[in-house]
Amino acid sequence: MQAPAPPPCVHRFRPRIDMPDTLSPLLAAIAIAVFVLAGFVKGVIGLGLPTISIGLLSLVMPPAQAAALLVVPSLLTNVWQIAGAGWGALLRRLATLLVGLCVGVALGAAAFGGIGGRAAGLLLGVALVAYALLSLKAWRPRVAPGAERWASPLVGVATGLVTAATGVFVIPAVPYLQALGLAKDELVRALGLSFLVATVALAASLGHGGALGAPQAIASLLAVPPALVGMGLGQWLRGRLAPETFRRWFLLGLLALGAWLVARGLAGL
């Protein structure tokens, strides 16, 4: 006798993404090592946590699971990154960019249906490599003060779309923020503020898609200590770098992240 079909409400409320509730000991060890490395890079240049963690963890788990693990470490490391005087002024200056970022994530989540497209990661990597190479050749774009009013929301929406497709919030926000001519510590704080808002928007998108429930949130919380250890070491090193040395390492970091995304994207074709 055939079993009766479940009522329509069961289908309606079933999560759209099936996520494992726990990590095996091997995956947990890999995740710890990845978050120490990603935190260290973020501590030195102010970014890299999502790119490295999602890029490396996606080799051993679904990209949506990797993005879910990222949420709490990203939130806390970005709060740490923006701590200090001056973040309030940056918040006012970047308000339209941050609102646009949230709008872009929402639009991208509806349009792309989830994180993990290899083509999107490949294109993101190419953009990072091109920007880093041009900047290392002394190309220094500048955004005129009068242009920020209309450019910031557009950059925010574009960054949100890329975030929804890849889980990485770098392009075009990072080049844009650097083009504002911010000082070293201001730039790092502005990056942290943008990434903090992007993380909140990404977490909402993952939760809506069924990829961030209580088990995944607990696993993400356990990833915080290794990320903070790595970030502390990276910040210690950044404090000993001259501004021009920091800029060079910042761009080399972008170049390395972009090359990694390109290699990973080509390997998946």
Report yes or no: 102 and 201 within 8 Å, Cβ to Cβ: yes
Residues belonging to the chain: 269
pLDDT for res 241: 79
CA distance 162 to 121: 9
Walking along the chain (269 residues) 10 residues at a time, the average pLDDT comes out as 42 38 76 92 82 78 79 89 80 94 89 64 76 75 87 94 80 88 86 90 78 78 92 88 79 82 77
Sequence-ordered list of residues with C-beta below 8 angstroms from that of 249, at least 6 positions apart, any chain: 44, 45, 241
CA distance 168 to 140: 23
CA distance 211 to 67: 9
**Which amino acid is present at 173?**
A
pLDDT for res 54: 77
Token code pair at residue 53? 């963690």
pLDDT for res 119: 67
DSSP state, 221? H
Q: Using N-to-C axis directions, what is the helix angle for 214-222 and 224-238, rounded to 10°?
A: 40
Whether residue 153 has a cis bond before it, omega within 30° of 0? no
pLDDT for res 58: 74
Its pTM stands at 0.73
Token code pair at residue 11? 């289908």
Sequence-ordered list of residues with C-beta below 8 angstroms from that of 107, at least 6 positions apart, any chain: 157, 160, 161, 164
Please give the radius of gyration of the chain, using alpha carbons only, rounded to the nearest integer: 19
| CA 141 vs CA 136, 138, 242: distances in Å | 12, 9, 21
CA distance 75 to 173: 18
Side-chain-side CA neighbours of residue 135 (13 Å) = 24
